[in-house]
Amino acid sequence: MTQTSDNVTWLTQEAYDQLRAELEHLSGPARTEIAQKIEQAREEGDLKENAGYHAAREEQGKMELRIRQLTQLLERAKVGEAPADNGVVGPGMVVTVAFDGDKDDTMVFLLGSREAASGDMETYSPQSPLGRAIDGRKVGDDVTYELPNGRKANVTITEAKPYTG
């Protein structure tokens, strides 16, 4: 669904629309709602010991951060097609790898951006060591990549299918 290069994030139309809708909600109705919460808490009196006020302000800060993240992401976004179902690993693909060729020790994950995944799908960035190693490779390929601790890991790509949400 997404591929992040240095300056561009590739999104499917569905992912773009979903993120745009979230931004519009946060920038409009959600902002108004949090401002009302803050005002109501302010009217309760002493702000130093007003837990409701502090919780509302913290919620506001988190929301404003998410608005900035979404704005930056969508400014860099390019809408494109979902990847082809041809067994070649790339952003937007759900990939299954077997560690050291062991068919019982596998991991399934989305190669892309967390914003594109729904639910509990584990996500690896195309810029991660594993992501860089498998990007462009095919089902059946054995790949070696360097872990953050400097050790090498070997995986075999056993499946690569387009992410469907």
- What's residue 3's pLDDT? 44
CATH level 2 (architecture), domain 93-162: Roll (3.10)
The mean pLDDT value for 42-62 works out to 87
Fold annotation for 3-79:
Helix Hairpins (1.10.287)
Q: How far apart are CA 134 and CA 112, in angstroms?
A: 12
pLDDT digits (tens, 9 = 90+) for 130-165: 999 999 999 999 999 998 899 999 999 999 998 776
pLDDT digits (tens, 9 = 90+) for 10-46: 677 777 888 899 999 999 999 999 999 999 888 887 7
Contact of 15 with 121, CB cutoff 8 Å: no
- Weakest mean pLDDT among 2-11, 96-105, 146-155: 2-11
User: Is pLDDT at 49 greater than 90 in this prediction?
Assistant: no
Q: For 25, phi and psi rounded to 5 degrees?
A: -65, -50
First to last CA, the chain: 9
CA dist list (Å): 26 to 30, 35, 117: 5, 12, 19
In the chain, domain spans: 3-79, 93-162
